[in-house]
């Protein structure tokens, strides 16, 4: 059994989607940013970085994993699914996974901060992060003109990338003209496991939780 520590954010959704795709049983622990539960001493023992997502594998000596990309690799290797077995295919999948972890996540995350939450309107910062995110989307689009999924076959690279790209409107980043990216998004959205994963954890309408999440994103 896997314990999943998460919140309704793109990085959290990566892990609930992969768990749904793999059909692994898991227990959801929804952390409240408003209550700073991600910084509690108990949670810092699981993720020293004090952020979601993290998992604890109860069937493997309570082994804890943090960083969403590392969690996806751990679960794919554990099950032998969603990551090609041959060295070249595996490398291609990991390249696109790293592209998301080092590029789209940080750039789009900062686009959200400066476009949505930052107390001052810093147009230079907004432009910088939105344009860089669009540039990274164009790299994805070019790739997806040649292949159905980022690694050729469906993999953890798609699962890592989709929860971010689907938020393009919220980030103020247009996807006009990126027809291959739009086709891929529609394919991803149609997957039942993706739809289930996006509902984890249950959304709350508690405004204080939303404010708390925004405060965390600013830092």
Kindly state the smallest distance separating residue 12's Cβ from ligand GSH, in Å: 6
Cβ contact 67:73 at 8 Å: no
* Structural tokens at position 4: 């999943």
Residue nearest to ligand GSH (CB): 51
Buried b (16+ CB within 10 A) or exposed e, 114-131: bbeebeeeeeebbeebbe
d(CA 200, CA 219): 24
Count CB atoms within 10 A of the CB of residue 153: 16
Stretch that binds ligand GSH, among 47-55, 89-97, 119-127, 190-198 (CB under 6 A): 47-55
Stretch that binds ligand GSH, among 46-54, 119-127, 172-180, 188-196 (CB under 6 A): 46-54
Contact flag: residue 100 with ligand GSH (CB under 6 A): no
Contact flag: residue 51 with ligand GSH (CB under 6 A): yes
Q: Which of 4, 5, 9, 20 binds ligand GSH (CB under 6 A)?
A: 9
Kindly state the smallest distance separating residue 217's Cβ from ligand GSH, in Å: 7
Binding letters toward ligand GSH, positions 61-90, x by CB under 6 A: ------xx----------------------
* Structural tokens at position 50: 């004090």
**Beta strand 26-30 with 54-57: parallel, antiparallel or unpaired?**
unpaired
Is the CB of 29 or the CB of 51 nearer to ligand GSH?
A: 51
Q: What distances in angstroms separate CA 3 from CA 19, 58, 64, 154, 216, one per listed residue?
A: 11, 7, 9, 25, 23
Contact flag: residue 112 with ligand GSH (CB under 6 A): no
Count CB atoms within 10 A of the CB of residue 108: 27
Stretch that binds ligand GSH, among 7-15, 149-157, 163-171, 197-205 (CB under 6 A): 7-15
d(CA 11, CA 67): 9
Stretch that binds ligand GSH, among 8-16, 118-126, 134-142, 177-185 (CB under 6 A): 8-16
Kindly identify the residues of this chain, within the stretch 10-39, that bind ligand GSH according to CB under 6 A.
10-11, 33, 38
Map residue 191 onto helix, strand or coil.
coil
Which candidate, 98, 102, 101, 92, places its Cα nearest to that of 152? Answer: 92
Is the CB of 145 or the CB of 208 nearer to ligand GSH?
A: 208
Q: What distances in angstroms separate CA 13 from CA 73, 141, 176, one per listed residue?
A: 15, 22, 25
The site for ligand GSH (CB under 6 A) is made up of 9-11, 33, 38, 50-53, 67-68, 216, 219
């Amino acid at each position: 059994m896997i314990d999943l520590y998460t919140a309704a954010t793109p990085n959290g959704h990566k892990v609930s989607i992969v768990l749904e795709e793999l059909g692994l049983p898991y227990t959801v622990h929804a952390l409240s940013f408003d209550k700073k539960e991600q910084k509690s001493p108990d949670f810092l023992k699981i993720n020293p970085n004090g952020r979601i997502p993290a998992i604890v594998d109860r069937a493997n000596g309570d082994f804890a994993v943090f960083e969403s990309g590392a969690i996806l690799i751990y679960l794919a290797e554990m099950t032998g699914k969603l990551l090609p077995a041959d060295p070249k295919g595996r490398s291609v999948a990991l390249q696109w996974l790293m592209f998301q972890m080092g590029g789209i996540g940080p750039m789009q995350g900062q686009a959200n901060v400066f476009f949505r939450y930052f107390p001052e309107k810093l147009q230079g910062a907004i432009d910088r992060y939105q344009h860089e995110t669009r540039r990274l989307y164009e790299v994805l689009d070019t790739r997806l003109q040649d292949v159905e999924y980022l690694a050729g076959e469906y993999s953890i690279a798609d699962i890592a990338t989709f929860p971010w790209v689907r938020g393009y409107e919220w980030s103020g980043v247009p996807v006009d003209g990126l027809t291959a990216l739009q086709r891929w998004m529609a394919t991803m959205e149609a997957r039942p496991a993706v739809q289930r994963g996006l509902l984890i954890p249950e959304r709350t309408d508690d405004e204080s939780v939303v404010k708390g999440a925004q405060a965390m994103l600013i830092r």
